[in-house]
Amino acid sequence: MAEVANQQHLDLLQQGVESWNQWRKEHPKQRPNLRGADLRGANLRRANLFRADLRGADLRRANLREAVLTGADLGRAQLYRANLNRATLTDVNLEAADLERVFLRRADLRGANLREANLQLSVLVASKLDGVHLTGARVYGISAWGLEGVPKAQSDLIITPPEMPAITVDNLKVAQFIYLLLDNEEIRDVIDTITSKVVLILGRFTDERKTVLDAIRKELRRQNLTPILFDFDKPASKDLTGTVETLARLARFIIADLTDPSSIPHELGTVVPLLRTTPVLPLRLQGSSGYSMFDDLRAYPWVLKTHEYQNVESLVASLAEVIEPAETKAQQFRRKLTNGGTDSEITSEAD
């Protein structure tokens, strides 16, 4: 039988924050059990919820302003539009919690676990994020200005809404910037000239192919590069090619996994001819079916020879060597651009 909230604790909380805080003061060792409680719209301002078990609780539109939630467990809790401004959330567990449109201005989230949390359209202005775990969180539309501290883990942040193919980045501030870049043509024009550490990964990474994806990203991070993943796990939209083109122009080089080319041929066929100084490194599992369109793309000097690998283990073992030609070509292009060469001069010499 699933664990539910302690009715006595719930009744005490519903008597009001003043009575609740007095009870907490008199019973400092008691851990409140409010698991799965329906607290929608509750006024919990300045409530002492230290180490409270709030797993699965419904706190939508609740007022938790200045509440103390240090060490609380809010795993899979629903906090849609909740007010957590100035709340103390140090070491709180918010794994997979729904924090969409939540107000977290000046909140203290140091050491909190926000893995795979939904932070879409939430406000984290001037919040403290030192030591926070953000891996896999959804951060589309987030407002993250003036943040304090450095998160402990912030990889694989999803910057697109659920109905779009997932684009992931490895830094909360970069996430906000990348989405702004995709949405603003003037910023895109400026950023085209900036040297970048971004590496764009294109492909369709099903569950059984996540090992390949994770290995590629790990090696890129080891080389102090920033992987951005465009996972074609959803049907392409009419605007998808423009998004891929923007990210491709930003990238130092591109890794295109052709093992399951069910979605990317059109995008590659459209984008590759425009790149000129962005190397493209194709990968493919031996024995997988290719597509004829890519044969035409090999004529471009910035498209490298396709690396075919026997299995995941062999690819992982040799990734540094596999990626090296793309990095070498990128350095060559950038060096010539720095010395005043035009795109056509650079690519003709590379050929």
CATH of the domain at 60: 2.160.20.80
Non-local (6+) Cβ contacts of 4 within 8 A are 35, 36
Say if residue 150 is in the same domain as residue 232: no
Predicted local confidence at residue 274, as pLDDT? 85
pLDDT at residue 265 is higher than 80: no
- Asked if residue 115 and residue 19 are part of one domain, the reply reads yes
- Do residue 4 and residue 77 come from a single domain? yes
pLDDT-derived band of residue 340, with 50, 70 and 90 as boundaries? low
- What's the mean pLDDT in 165-175? 89
- Tokens describing residue 125: 């202005």
Q: Are residues 199 and 124 in the same domain?
A: no
Query: Are 9 and 149 in the same domain?
Result: yes
Give the model's pLDDT for residue 45. 97
> Which of 119, 154, 189 is the C-terminal boundary of a domain?
154
Say what percent of the chain tops pLDDT 90.
Answer: 52
Q: Is there a single domain that holds both residue 174 and residue 32? A: no
Last residue of a domain, one of 130, 154, 178: 154
Same domain, 149 and 124: yes
- Considering the domain architecture, whether residues 250 and 138 belong to the same structural domain is answered as no
What is the per-residue pLDDT across 271-314, written as a single tens digit (0 to 9) for each?
888 888 899 999 988 887 666 667 788 889 999 998 999 988 89
Whether residue 323 contacts residue 219, with contact meaning beta carbons closer than 8 Å, is answered with yes
Helical ranges in the chain per DSSP H: 7-14, 17-26, 172-183, 185-191, 210-222, 240-250, 264-275, 292-297, 312-317, 319-338, 343-350
- For the chain, what percent of residues have pLDDT higher than 70? 87
Of the two residues 340 and 86, the one the predictor is more confident about is 86
**pLDDT on residue 229:** 86
- The answer on 166 and 207 residing in a single domain is yes
- Taking the alpha carbons at both ends of the chain, their separation in whole angstroms is 68
- Residue 152: per-residue pLDDT: 96
For 167-197, b where at least 16 C-beta lie within 10 A, e where not — what string? Answer: bbbbebebbbbbbebbeeeeebeebeeeeee
Q: What pLDDT was estimated at residue 196?
A: 65
Planar angle of CA 282, 182, 329, nearest 5 degrees: 30
Q: Which of 66, 63, 47 is nearest to 102 (CA)?
A: 63
**From CA 202, how far away is CA 165, in angstroms rounded?**
11
pLDDT in tens, 96-141: 999 999 999 999 999 999 999 999 999 999 999 999 999 999 999 9
User: 117, 137, 154: which is the final residue of a domain?
Assistant: 154
Given a cut of 80, whether residue 336 has pLDDT beyond it is no
Name the domain count of the chain: 2
Query: Can you give the residue range of the structural domain that contains 300?
Result: 157-351
Contact indicator for 42, 15 with CB cutoff of 8 Å: no
Nearest Cα neighbor of 263 from 210, 203, 199 is 203
* pLDDT value, residue 1: 33
Rg (CA), the chain: 24
Q: What is the pLDDT of residue 84?
A: 97
Quote the pLDDT of residue 3: 67
Sequence-ordered list of residues with C-beta below 8 angstroms from that of 87, at least 6 positions apart, any chain: 64, 65, 66, 67, 68, 69, 104, 107, 108
* 284 and 300 fall within a common domain: yes
For 22, phi and psi rounded to 5 degrees? -65, -40
